[in-house]
Homo-oligomer: A and B are copies of this chain.
């Protein structure tokens, strides 16, 4: 499944494959032509992926097949043991988490979880948590503190679910509580924005000592579509909104909202999950190493200072 801006690439790829097939079956030597085409493909890919617009990156962040939190957990940790439930109302499948080893060290990990197909997406409410999901996340934060394990949060949600039941059970309250709970962790906390970082529903598990972001992920106070609907009264102006919101990894790094960009393979994380996981692993390893020397109170103060400094104004 190719996104709009990927079509020239996939067309060229198809053509090369066709010629290769012809050359192989006919015995005709097309190596000259093929090498020209391959070089052109490389250039085309470079041109396309190095200069993606913000809106194109939003589409990559949502691309079917993009590694979900569970994929990443299984890709970068070992012996993942999933834990369930908020001990109060239900188990929200839009949030997953548990215990695992990262490079041999036990950690606590949590993430928004989208489905990998329609059926799973319905089960997981398209990665939009109810209050119970955040309560599960808080329970895992408690565990991390209790056992002095690093806490890793994987962010990938269009936003917290905006529905009647969610409001009834305190969606705003639980997001605030989760922000506060995570802020209070006395262990290293790292948040990684994997795909979509939709507003408060993302931030609820985003209060890390360091916040990392995948090259093609987005993180914003509002989705481009909703922003467009409000400002231009047209959801179709989402591309414009994406530009205005400066929601790309590079933008956010410049604003200090994120601390590091994790590179993706050409064409996006889903093109080569193995490379994607290796890149995440490398960045997470470095980040955890940086935080390792800090004691419990220093970690809290480090997090305080990190977020304390965000915002721009005139005295």
Contacts and interface: CB of A to CB of B under 8 A. Distances in A.
A124 B165 CA distance: 24
* A87, A88, A89, A174 pick with most chain B CB within 10 angstroms: A88
Q: On chain A, which size bracket covers the interface?
A: 10 to 19
B173 A87 contact: yes
Contacts of A173: 87-88
Contacts of A88: 88-89, 131, 135, 169-170, 173-174
Interface in A168-221: 169-170, 173-174, 177
A88 B174 CA distance: 8
A87 B178 CA distance: 13
A108 B88 CA distance: 24
Contacts of A177: 87
Interface string A283-306: 000000000000000000000000
Nearest to A87: B173
Interface in A231-245: none
A170 B87 contact: yes
Given A87-B177, A88-B174, A89-B169, 11 more contacts: A87-B170, A87-B173, A88-B88, A88-B89, A88-B131, A88-B135, A88-B169, A88-B170, A88-B173, A89-B89, A89-B170
